[in-house]
């Protein structure tokens, strides 16, 4: 029986190993172990997955763009140190194109006669749907060397997935295609959101409604309906990181135009967040200084407590920069996390916790509460930054009664019924929707 070990038990490594284990034995649970004795398990394994962090570099060459492969390299060196038999090493982390070549060099230069085959097997799961995505993936991608040994390694990994994934969904390619396809998939997905968000600004300027536009274009089977929801901006641990990485690789290959093309996806995302902040401030008489503003939702999307690169961080920091007082409510994010996020430097979050900066001093204009009604009490405005279902069924009359007047709602996820809220008396801004008369007269966006 093939023995599998995974280095890195985070969002990707943990669920991936659980699903592989569940699909191999009649008695699931007896074949899945979590251990810190990494040397022992690596030396016993036939196939070693590596799903450690690959954050954006914060210092040195390529800072702010290139992937930091420190954790990957240390995993590879450890594999080289402890291995006594041939190994298949699987890149599960998202890595720059050609990483396999670097890993191969580290392993073979320390090989003691052991044969290593490196495979690229990127992961496409999304958070909140990880188990469904792993059980029923659109595709599994395996890249390897085009040598007989490389092809044998591909077959060995294919056999692992073939326990539950139909064969026609397992795509085998060369190494570089597999590595690049992961970056390309995330870049295309993020590009769709930036495209619809760019349209949202034009919708506001013209009286078009972005939901109607999305619906109309999504009906074209060549475009398709998914991933066309306008928002305050995309977040999450990977879209920005992977596009920056792609941009860096293009630049290193002298492809400036291609790099600039993809950079624009991030620029539009940043524009969308600052556009939202500008809307809030300009609507409220051009100042939010000393005003209480409720923030409903802090996670980067609903059904997760994950705040990595959440647009809420930039929106909150933008409002704090204008001296607002924020009262934040998210059903799954803790006060400690929010305080850390608002004080942390860009990209520091994507390192193992023990390597992150010590607990920062808390931002004093921020309070975190466990109830949307508490958050909105006496507030001048409320901003919806995550599309939690519970925000749709809030008692907005009660909220209105307890807010300062005029009372503003800024819906960054298009979750509330703007007409109903206007009937109650709110001034409502919904991303990409025809503007409230109040907002029409306010200064145009930067
Ligand atoms: N989060 C997601 O939804 C997806 C992430 N990815 C990619 O997968 C990779 C991992 O991402 P996540 O699982 O989200 O990260 P994570 O931060 O949740 O997990 C990584 C884990 O690796 C551990 N680690 C780091 N160095 C180690 C070492 N030398 N030995 C043992 N453990 C070590 C860390 O302590 C951490 O627990 C990244 O490259 C990411 O881009 C790919 C698809 C989806
Ligand atoms: O490489 C990764 O880490 C993963 O990144 C994303 O998954 P994830 O970040 O978990 O979440 P998504 O559902 O893709 O959402 C990302 C962001 O885009 C936003 N979004 C999504 C869809 C949409 O129509 N509009 C929109 O603004 C979400 O609110 C969220 O902030 C991809 O969907 C996964 O395929 C990929 O494996």
Q: 369-411, pLDDT tens digit by residue?
A: 999 999 999 999 999 999 999 999 999 999 999 999 999 999 9
Reported confidence tier of residue 361, pLDDT bands at 50, 70, 90: low
Q: What ligand 2 atom has the least distance to the C-alpha of 311? A: 31
* Residue positions counted in the chain: 446
Whether residue 239 is annotated as binding a ligand: the answer is yes
pTM to 2 decimal places: 0.95
Contact 237 CB / ligand 2 (< 6 Å) = yes
Q: Which pLDDT score, from 0 to 100, does residue 364 have?
A: 83
Cα(2) to centroid of ligand 2, in Å?
A: 33
Contact 99 CB / ligand 1 (< 6 Å) = no
Q: Residue 406, preceding bond cis, omega within 30 degrees?
A: yes
238 is catalytic: yes
ipTM of the complex model: 0.98
* Apex 125 CA angle, 121 and 131, nearest 5: 115
Q: What ligand 1 atom has the least distance to the C-alpha of 14? A: 13
Mean pLDDT for the chain?
A: 93
On whether the CB atoms of residues 73 and 110 are closer than 8 A, the answer is no
At 6 the three-state DSSP class reads strand
Q: Which pLDDT score, from 0 to 100, does residue 355 have?
A: 66
Marked catalytic residue, from 5, 203, 238, 250? 238
Sequential DSSP letters for 145-165 = -SSHHHHHHHHHHHHHHTTTS
The tens digit of pLDDT for each residue in 273-302 reads: 999 999 999 999 999 999 999 999 999 999
At 83 the three-state DSSP class reads coil
Q: Which pLDDT score, from 0 to 100, does residue 439 have?
A: 83
Domain 4-165 in CATH 3.40.50.720: yes
The tens digit of pLDDT for each residue in 24-68 reads: 866 666 889 999 998 899 999 999 999 999 988 988 999 999 889
Sequential DSSP letters for 85-108 = S-EEEEE-S---TTHHHHHHHHHH
Residue 239, both tokens: 């879209």
Percent share of the chain, pLDDT over 70: 95
Contact 314 CB / ligand 2 (< 6 Å) = no
Reported confidence tier of residue 1, pLDDT bands at 50, 70, 90: confident
The CATH 3.40.50.720 portion of the chain extends over 4-165, 188-440
For residue 359, CA distances in Å to 49, 340, 365 come to 32, 7, 17
Q: Residue 227's CB: how many other CB atoms inside 10 A? A: 16
Closest CA to 195 of 184, 210, 209, 207: 210
Q: Which CATH architecture best describes the domain 188-440?
A: 3-Layer(aba) Sandwich (3.40)
Contact 10 CB / ligand 1 (< 6 Å) = yes
């Amino acid at each position: 029986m093939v023995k599998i070990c995974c280095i890195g038990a985070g969002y990707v490594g943990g669920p991936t190993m659980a699903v592989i284990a569940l699909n191999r034995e009649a008695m699931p649970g007896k074949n899945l172990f979590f251990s810190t004795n990494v040397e022992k398990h690596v030396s016993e394994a036939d196939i070693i997955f590596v799903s450690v962090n690959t954050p954006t570099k914060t210092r040195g060459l390529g800072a702010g763009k290139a992937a930091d492969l420190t954790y990957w390299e240390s995993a590879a060196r450890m594999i080289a140190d402890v291995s006594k038999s041939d190994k298949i090493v699987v890149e599960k982390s998202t890595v720059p194109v050609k990483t396999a070549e670097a890993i191969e060099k580290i392993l073979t230069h320390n090989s003691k006669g052991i044969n290593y085959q490196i495979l690229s097997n990127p992961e496409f799961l999304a958070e909140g749907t990880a188990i469904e995505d792993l059980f029923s993936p659109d595709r599994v991608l395996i890249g390897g060397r085009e040598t007989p040994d490389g092809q044998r390694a591909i077959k060995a990994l294919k056999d692992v997935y073939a326990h539950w994934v139909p064969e026609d969904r397992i795509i085998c390619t060369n190494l570089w295609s597999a590595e690049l396809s992961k970056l390309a998939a995330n870049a295309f997905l993020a590009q769709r959101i930036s495209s619809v968000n760019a349209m949202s600004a034009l919708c506001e300027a013209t009286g078009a409604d972005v939901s109607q536009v999305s619906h109309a274009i999504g009906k074209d089977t060549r475009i398709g309906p998914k991933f066309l929801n306008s928002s305050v901006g995309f977040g999450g641990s990977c879209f920005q990181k992977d596009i920056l990485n792609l941009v860096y690789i293009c630049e290193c290959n002298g492809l400036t135009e291609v790099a600039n093309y993809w950079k624009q996806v991030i620029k539009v995302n940043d524009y969308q967040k600052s556009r939202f902040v500008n809307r809030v401030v300009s609507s409220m008489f051009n100042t939010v200084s000393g005003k209480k503003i409720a923030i409903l939702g802090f996670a980067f999307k609903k059904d997760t407590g994950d705040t990595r690169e959440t647009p809420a961080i930039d929106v909150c920091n933008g409002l704090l920069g204008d001296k607002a007082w924020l009262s934040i409510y998210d059903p799954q994010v803790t006060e400690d996390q929010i305080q850390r996020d608002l004080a942390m430097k860009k990209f520091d979050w994507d390192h193992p916790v023990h390597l992150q900066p010590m607990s920062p001093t808390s931002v004093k204009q921020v309070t975190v509460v466990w109830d949307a009604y508490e958050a909105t009490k006496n507030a001048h405005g409320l901003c919806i930054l995550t599309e939690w279902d519970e925000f749709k069924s809030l008692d907005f009359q009660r909220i209105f009664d307890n807010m300062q007047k005029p009372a503003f709602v800024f819906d960054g996820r298009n979750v509330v019924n703007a007409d109903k809220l206007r009937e109650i008396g709110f001034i409502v801004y919904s991303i990409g929707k025809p503007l409230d008369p109040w907002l029409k007269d306010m200064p145009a966006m930067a």
